Amino acid sequence: MNSWPSAFLWLADPVNWAGPGGIPTRVGEHLLYTLVTLLIGVIIAVPAGLAIGHTGRGRGIAVQASGVLRALPTLGLLLLLALWLGIGFTPPLIVMVALALPPLLAGAYAGMDAVDRQTIDAARSIGMTGWQVLFQVELPLALPLVIGGIRSGCLQVIATWTVAAYLPLGGLGRYIYDGLAVQNYAEMLGASVLVIVLALLADGLFALVQRLVVPRGVLAGRSRDVRTRTPRRSASSTPSTTAG
């Protein structure tokens, strides 16, 4: 039970905030690893998910591929690739991209699939081409769910990049493995707190972005629904009150 005070003392120690192995450096490394992973994953998965949702083709393959990628053992695959490709940045990057692909693909596909077919038909009926329907109608409406998939993938990547410190890499996982080697549980717990805080900040940022990308027409439609439903409820409640 004394580990928590020791962890916060470790976090408050100025020595741990300076130098090449300090907390700011490790946080920066962790963020860099996460951003590179998400960028590669978005380039691969989001266009594929949008194409599947737009055309309706390849759904079965996408579901099966996502299931296979989710079932991969992270540490086992990391060690296998390290033995095959050598120790460095490439093996954990491949593993983390594979981990990020399922939520990114699912978010892009689900976003496109959630678009009302009547809206798409209306866009085509006024003469929009397929590309115009995709980029001016489907993608703006699907964007909140697409961002939601990126949000989920980001949280998984932030948490799992700590495993990559098993190899001689930086990031916040470095504190966990170095602390384990010398039984410095305060360092391990402090690093875990940093990972949690980083994940919460990233989640909050993506939640804000997810709200901002909702099209204005959708927000206006929701507000109109609220205004039209409220009088009906009050009107329906009036007879029952007078009858009592």
Check residue 69 and give its pLDDT.
84
Taking the CA of residue 5 as centre, how many other CA atoms within 13 Å lie in the half-sphere pointing to its CB?
Answer: 2
Check residue 241 and give its pLDDT.
44
C-alpha 158/C-alpha 143 separation (Å) is 22
91 token code pair:
């093996």
Whether residue 209 lies inside any domain: the answer is yes
Whether residue 82 lies inside any domain: the answer is yes
Q: Is 56 left (phi over 0), alpha (psi -120 to 50) or beta?
A: left
Which CATH number do you get for residue 15? 1.10.3720.10
Whether residue 244 lies inside any domain: the answer is no
Whether residue 81 lies inside any domain: the answer is yes
Check residue 217 and give its pLDDT.
64
Whether residue 169 lies inside any domain: the answer is yes
Check residue 61 and give its pLDDT.
84
pTM of the model: 0.83
Whether residue 176 lies inside any domain: the answer is yes
214 token code pair:
């909702």
Check residue 97 and give its pLDDT.
94
Residue 204: which domain range? 3-236
Check residue 227 and give its pLDDT.
55
Check residue 174 and give its pLDDT.
93
Check residue 218 and give its pLDDT.
66
Which residues in the chain show pLDDT less than 70?
Answer: 1-2, 217-244
Check residue 19 and give its pLDDT.
86
- Within the chain, residue ranges assigned H as helices are 3-12, 23-55, 59-71, 74-85, 90-113, 117-125, 130-133, 139-160, 173-181, 185-212, 216-243
C-alpha 239/C-alpha 38 separation (Å) is 57
Check residue 242 and give its pLDDT.
42
CA angle at 59 for the pair 53 and 65, rounded to the nearest 5°: 120
Residue with tokens 């890499």, as numbered in its chain:
169
Check residue 222 and give its pLDDT.
54
Check residue 63 and give its pLDDT.
80
Residue with tokens 């109109």, as numbered in its chain:
224
Whether residue 80 lies inside any domain: the answer is yes
- Number of folded domains that form the chain: 1
Check residue 194 and give its pLDDT.
95
Check residue 244 and give its pLDDT.
40
